[in-house]
Amino acid sequence: MNALATSLQTYFTTFAHDQRDLSAHTIASYRDTWRLLLKHLASTLGVPADSLDFDAITAANVSGFLDQLEHERGNAARTRNARLTAIRSVLGRALPDHPEHAATITQVLAIPPKRTIRPVIEFLTTTEVDALLAAPDPNTWTGRRDHALLALTVQTGLRISEIRSLTRADIHLGTGPHVACTGKGRRQRITPLTRATLGIMQAYLAERATRLGTALFCGPQGWPLSRDALEHRLAKHLATATTTCPNLATKHVTMHTLRHTAAMNLLAAGVDVSVIALWLGHADTHSTDAYLHADMAIKQAAIDRTRPPDIKPGTYKPEPDILAWLTAL
């Protein structure tokens, strides 16, 4: 076994779990990155994957791999950067143990991420949320479960991974009702529940107690719903909601869109960005600042506050009588 294979096994069997305590999703992403990289290098260099060592992990070869992901596999720049992060994470851990390959590894670590254009955040309006929450069939167990799931997500802004990991014990319905979760970076937080969400969850939990498993939102056998299942249920209800709210057809809505919606609702209510960052489990406010750019109402209010005293507030609208307007100039 060569040095690269040893480093990979050490990273994924010991370092990622015991020292970094990375999530299963992150470990799987890093693993898939290295599988793709080794297959690409084996094909490009014409050598078996088992024979590849650190001397094959050059900056030129890694850059070629990243370009192949982007141009041939159609990966976006954000995915390309995520793959680069996975490569650099393993190499950064291996560098102190293999000084003989320091020059090659350092060059790879110096590859900069590709700059990306950050899209404007998409979120749902109050009317669209109401249509979505009305879509699940209240006469079936899955419909009542999905209604509770969507209502909780829209109000709390939990990530899809956090929703999946919730158990019945994580919902506290007594004094100070809230939901507790462990989010990205192993950060624990609690999110309060509104009176409307509390009523929905009380009714749901009373019925959920008669079913198997401990997962809050489960399938027929009591196991937590998968990420694909959650997105599938959302797509199903979106199709139903679109019949009463056609605006939904113009939006690309995922479970993460519901998280954005929760943040925008807080922002519209005047909640400070630093509080929203804590609510969403962000490590700092940089990620939360994007919501400020998405809210046109905030920008309009800023314009209204800076207008001259003799100018009517609001968006400019031309006078209907152009001749009268010209005469008044």
Q: Clarify whether 159 is annotated catalytic.
A: yes
In this prediction, residue 33 carries a pLDDT of 95
Average pLDDT over residues 153-164: 92
Domain ranges of the chain: 3-109, 126-298
Q: Are strands 171-172 and 178-182 parallel, antiparallel or unpaired?
A: antiparallel
Architecture of domain 126-298: Orthogonal Bundle (1.10)
Q: How confident is the model at residue 306 (pLDDT cuts 50, 70, 90)?
A: low
In this prediction, residue 138 carries a pLDDT of 93
- 61, 47 contact by CB (below 8 A): no
Of 88, 184, 227, 251, which is the active-site residue? 184
What element of type H or E holds 179? strand 178-182
- CA 251/CA 234 separation, integer angstroms: 13
For residues 243 and 271, which has the higher predicted lDDT (pLDDT)?
243
- 238, 253 contact by CB (below 8 A): yes
In this prediction, residue 279 carries a pLDDT of 87
User: Considering the chain, what is the average pLDDT of its residues?
Assistant: 87
Is the model's pLDDT at 25 over the cut of 90? Answer: no
Is the model's pLDDT at 198 over the cut of 90? Answer: yes
- CA 314/CA 85 separation, integer angstroms: 46
In this prediction, residue 307 carries a pLDDT of 65
Q: Clarify whether 282 is annotated catalytic.
A: yes
Of 159, 164, 237, 260, which is the active-site residue? 159
- CA 217/CA 229 separation, integer angstroms: 11
Is the model's pLDDT at 298 over the cut of 80? Answer: no
- 240, 135 contact by CB (below 8 A): yes
Is the model's pLDDT at 45 over the cut of 70? Answer: yes
Evaluated on CA atoms 103, 108, 109, 115, the torsion sign reads: positive
In this prediction, residue 312 carries a pLDDT of 67
Average pLDDT over residues 164-181: 91
Of 144, 145, 259, 260, which is the active-site residue? 259
What percent of the chain is modeled with pLDDT above 70?
A: 88
DSSP per position, 14-59: IIIIIIS---HHHHHHHHHHHHHHHHHHHHHHTS-GGG--GGG--H
Q: Clarify whether 259 is annotated catalytic.
A: yes
Average pLDDT over residues 80-96: 94
Average pLDDT over residues 280-302: 69
pLDDT in tens, 222-240: 899 999 999 999 999 999 9
Average pLDDT over residues 47-69: 93
- CA angle 129/130/131 to nearest 5° reads 90
Q: Clarify whether 256 is annotated catalytic.
A: yes
Average pLDDT over residues 307-311: 67
β-partners of residue 189 are 181
